[in-house]
Chains A and B, each alone.
Chain A
Amino acid sequence: MNAIDGTDRTITASEAPPPSLLTIILDTNPYAWSILSSTLPLSKVIANLLVFINAHLAINHANQVAVIASHTTCAQFLYPTPKPPQPGGRDSGTTNEAASNGDVEMSNGIAERIANEDDANKYRPFRIIEQELLANLTNLISKTTPEDLKSRTTTMIAGALTTALAYINKQILLKSPSDPSVLLNADTSAVSSAALPMTSVDGQDAASARSRQTLTSRILILSVSGDLAAQYIPVMNTIFAAQRQRVPIDVLKLAGDTVFLQQACDSTGGIYLDPSHYTPPLDSSTKTNGKAPADTAAAAVSGTLQGLLLHLLHPLLPDSYARHSLVPPADAAVDFRAACFCHRRVVDIGYVCSVCLSIFCEPLADGQCLTCGTQLILPREAGVVPAVLPRAKKKKKKKIAGGADTPGTSSAAGTPAPS
């Protein structure tokens, strides 16, 4: 009779890992790639990325992939090819005059083109992705005008992340066991069921919820450009959204340096990989053999390309199901600095509004919070270094609240007027 107990019930559920959705955000910032063009040309990276995508699709029949370009002017899907939203009110289809119905014609066009180039030496799904992705990327690059480049030099990472999360959310709803239309209409039930595993303390509940999870998703950002401070708030908001949706964000940092993507990995449980710092086990094994450790380090820095596929396949390919049993690559200390809301500067000491927690790099001129408009009063002591304690031990962050003085008196702390 011992065989009958509650724990047995969940075993009947299928043990196969759930399919996984990989959303790749490719940073296509032309400035960054032009700097990298001598060592790491975009075309080679795309070739490696395609092998990586194929490897992901090879793991499970139901695995899905989406690629989003984070360009300087827009964030755009590279795969799957976006379809015009409404057959009636489409503007993008003007290039294709013969088409009476953009929705159908567009997909047919691609399918026909692919059918014509059919060859028996490549698995068909792999070929379709390759062709669509390359066509869309070429399209995106050719549409970029010099004027576009002049107007903006940073990449639209926040927009791309938002697009990715929206896409993931939609796919999860479509995959849920119950009728998708029901869930789409009553999104409250979806939210409550999504929140359930997080709040449940009971281990069995969580386990069964995980086993019934129908789609695991993650985001991989291939980042080449730094300086995202201008998009601090939207980026952080997407990070929190990803955290709530339990979508890990992985980052492969090919060039540049961003503070916030590292925080994204840290708070969502993703992997932050900087090929110049991380050496895959292949290299480390040569190290243990005592064969020129300096060599491998140099190779990792100079020849990032050779190792790129290895980096992609080794730590970044396993989905979150497999990661339960794998040790993530050790990452360096995470930089938790924030950007101020007034000048988008990355600061390590700042002023925080006591009401809305906005961060400012300097005391505000009129004492009014720029975000919520609360009248703030800076105490007289703010910014003044007490003589008794050494500076290093002093608590760094000073809140602009609670004091009795007017903000005007605190101008001793040094207030350049906010521009």
Chain B
Amino acid sequence: MTASMQALEYLEQQSGATLIKLYRQPSSALAIFRRMLPHLAKNIVMAMLYMTKPFSDADLLAWIRPDALVEKDQAMSVLERLHIISKVHDPPPAPTAYQLSDKFAKSLRQALTGGGNHRSFGVPCSTPDPDKIDVENLDKFARQQWEAILYYMVGSAGGMQMGLSQGASISDGTKMLLEMGNFVERKGGRPIITQTGFSFLLQEANTQVWSLLIVYLESADNLQMDKVDVLSFLFTLGSLELGQDYSTANLTATQLQMLDDLSDFGIVYRRDNQAKRFYPTRLATTLTSDAGALLTSNSTLRSALSPTGSGNDKGYIIVETNYRLYAYTSSILQIAVLALFTRLHTRFPNLVSGKLTKESIQRAINLGITADQVISYLTAHAHPQMAKNTPVMPPTVVDQIRLWQIEGDRMKATTGFLIKEFGTQTEYDDTWKYADSLGVLVWKNDIKRLLFVSRIEQLSTYLAGKKSKARAA
């Protein structure tokens, strides 16, 4: 699950009123537009932004290629769920049409053209900071804070304590948050990493930040914090400029409280709790950028988060077709993550080598890590030389990792409906043939006259129609 999907899911759960309130801030409208919407939806919104009349469904259909209708439906349903567009309720003769929500359209227009006095893009400090912190140190701070969290989690995995306790001190609030998000469990006073926690570790930094922030948002309700305030502040943070100091003067009490918590995560930097200015770190300014874009174009976040600090910050893992793995890293954290699913055997000053084995992968799978997570982790952190290949990972290795996973689960669950107790053989034959033609038939037993279908709507109308016909005759 990517970061934007997580955040989107969270937003979709919010009530329409909350969302509309959120859209009053141009920075929030812009961030949601950029971050949450499918690509096609963005283009539809932009096309509608300056239209004076509702966009009729017929015109929309004429604009979308027939083979892209699935994407169109997807885009429209996301837009409707987020209350960005709504159907116009005209009397029936008028064609179905869509229009943008007034608040959203107004804010987005304001974001594009500027103007207004909403101050939602952050208020920079008017006076220069006497001892200004530079970008390098901001990155260092962000990395230190965020890795402390990851160390805490990795360190809680069994057998990996040694050498990891160094400097890994995180605040009690963060510990609580990790427990609330079910990333770690506390057993006998000692934190134990959970399945969710393992998946969390293998995610991209940006996704990790969002996962944690969503837990934070959910807990915000309990702490009597205004959800809209919290969300719009997060979106504002995403639009700030790295290396610029911003004033805390315009912030609400909730947002001031958030600053404390966010500086624990390394998302913002403040000199102390009373400081009148704060600096967003790279973790903050990339909040509203695309994870996919980060992966390929914006290596800066990874460089901020890769402790090796060497020039080669794009990726460090090479996997060969013979399952050997070489990782050019000296970071204990990265080695610990690799050790989750690799049998490491040699460590050099800047390189660890190991092998992907059946035991190591299946051990990871038992911990709750999926094969896809392993593959996507290896792909995302591929060394530039390996990243040149198409596909990036050797296909044999990818297939074998998947095979090792499905070796464990021999059963496949299909949700559906069992139809039984047919009156006559002809009725039974008729029904299974119809189900087969629909492509919903999963399994049948001719002797016991049992059918298993994956979907029943069409079949039940078919059966009901037949029954009423039989009654009429």
A, B: real partners: yes
Docked complex Cα distance between A302 and B56 (Å): 25
Q: Are A325 and B68 in contact, with the CB atoms below 8 A? A: yes
> Which of B26-34, B179-187, B429-437, B463-471 lies at the interface with chain A?
B26-34
Docked complex Cα distance between A73 and B103 (Å): 46
With a CB–CB cut-off of 8 A, which chain B residues contact A309? 50
Q: How far is the CB of A206 from chain B (nearest CB, A)?
A: 11
Q: Are A62 and B402 in contact, with the CB atoms below 8 A? A: no
Q: Which of A2-50 contact B (CB under 8 A)?
A: 3-4, 6, 8-10, 12-19
Q: How far is the CB of A285 from chain B (nearest CB, A)?
A: 5
With a CB–CB cut-off of 8 A, which chain A residues contact B226? none
With a CB–CB cut-off of 8 A, which chain A residues contact B62? 281, 327
Q: Are A214 and B43 in contact, with the CB atoms below 8 A? A: no
Q: How far is the CB of A330 from chain B (nearest CB, A)?
A: 10
Known pairs A17-B39, A60-B290, A61-B288; A121 contacts B30 (CB<8 A):
no
With a CB–CB cut-off of 8 A, which chain B residues contact A152? none
Q: Are A326 and B64 in contact, with the CB atoms below 8 A? A: yes
Tell whether A343 is near chain B: CB-to-CB under 8 Å. no
Contact with A along B93-136 (1 / 0, CB 8 A): 00000000000000010011111111111111000000000000
Docked complex Cα distance between A282 and B393 (Å): 48
Docked complex Cα distance between A124 and B40 (Å): 25
With a CB–CB cut-off of 8 A, which chain A residues contact B121? 120-124
Q: Are B34 and A179 in contact, with the CB atoms below 8 A? A: no
Q: How far is the CB of B401 from chain A (nearest CB, A)?
A: 10
Q: How far is the CB of A179 from chain B (nearest CB, A)?
A: 5
Tell whether B175 is near chain A: CB-to-CB under 8 Å. no
Q: How far is the CB of A55 from chain B (nearest CB, A)?
A: 5
Q: How far is the CB of A60 from chain B (nearest CB, A)?
A: 6
Docked complex Cα distance between A1 and B400 (Å): 12
With beta carbons under 8 angstroms apart, the residue of B67, B292, B375, B387 that contacts A15 is B292
Which residue of chain B is the closest to A63 with respect to CB atoms?
Answer: B293
Contact with B along A220-246 (1 / 0, CB 8 A): 000000000000000000000000000
Tell whether B63 is near chain A: CB-to-CB under 8 Å. yes
Q: Are A282 and B72 in contact, with the CB atoms below 8 A? A: no
Tell whether B448 is near chain A: CB-to-CB under 8 Å. no
Known pairs A12-B375, A58-B34, A118-B124; A325 contacts B64 (CB<8 A):
yes
With beta carbons under 8 angstroms apart, the residue of A6, A10, A12, A314 that contacts B47 is A314
Docked complex Cα distance between A269 and B376 (Å): 34
Known pairs A59-B46, A327-B63; A51 contacts B113 (CB<8 A):
yes
Docked complex Cα distance between A13 and B286 (Å): 21
Known pairs A4-B399, A325-B68; A62 contacts B298 (CB<8 A):
yes
With a CB–CB cut-off of 8 A, which chain A residues contact B392? 13
Q: Which of B214-241 contact A (CB under 8 A)?
A: 239-241
Tell whether A317 is near chain B: CB-to-CB under 8 Å. yes
Docked complex Cα distance between A126 and B241 (Å): 12
With beta carbons under 8 angstroms apart, the residue of B42, B59, B244 that contacts A285 is B59
Q: Are A9 and B384 in contact, with the CB atoms below 8 A? A: no
With a CB–CB cut-off of 8 A, which chain B residues contact A3? 402, 406
Q: Are B388 and A177 in contact, with the CB atoms below 8 A? A: yes
Docked complex Cα distance between A122 and B244 (Å): 15
Which residue of chain A is the closest to B250 with respect to CB atoms?
Answer: A120
Can you report 29 residue pairs joining A to B where beta carbons are below 8 Å apart? A4-B402, A9-B393, A12-B379, A14-B295, A16-B2, A16-B291, A16-B292, A17-B292, A18-B296, A54-B111, A55-B49, A58-B111, A59-B34, A61-B34, A61-B298, A62-B289, A115-B124, A121-B121, A122-B114, A123-B111, A179-B314, A214-B297, A281-B63, A284-B59, A313-B46, A313-B50, A314-B46, A317-B43, A326-B68
Q: Across chains A and B, which 3 residue pairs bring their CB atoms closest together, nearest first?
A: A16-B292, A325-B68, A61-B289
- Residues of B bordering A, CB below 8 Å: 2, 26-27, 30, 33-34, 39-40, 42-43, 46-47, 49-53, 55-56, 58-60, 62-65, 67-68, 71-72, 108, 111-124, 239-241, 244, 250, 286, 288-293, 295-298, 314, 372, 375-376, 379, 384-385, 387-388, 390-393, 395, 398-399, 402-403, 406
20 extra A-B contacts, CB within 8 A, seeds A127-B114, A325-B72: A12-B391, A12-B398, A15-B292, A19-B296, A55-B49, A59-B39, A60-B290, A115-B124, A120-B120, A121-B117, A121-B120, A212-B390, A285-B55, A310-B50, A310-B51, A313-B46, A317-B43, A322-B43, A325-B71, A326-B64
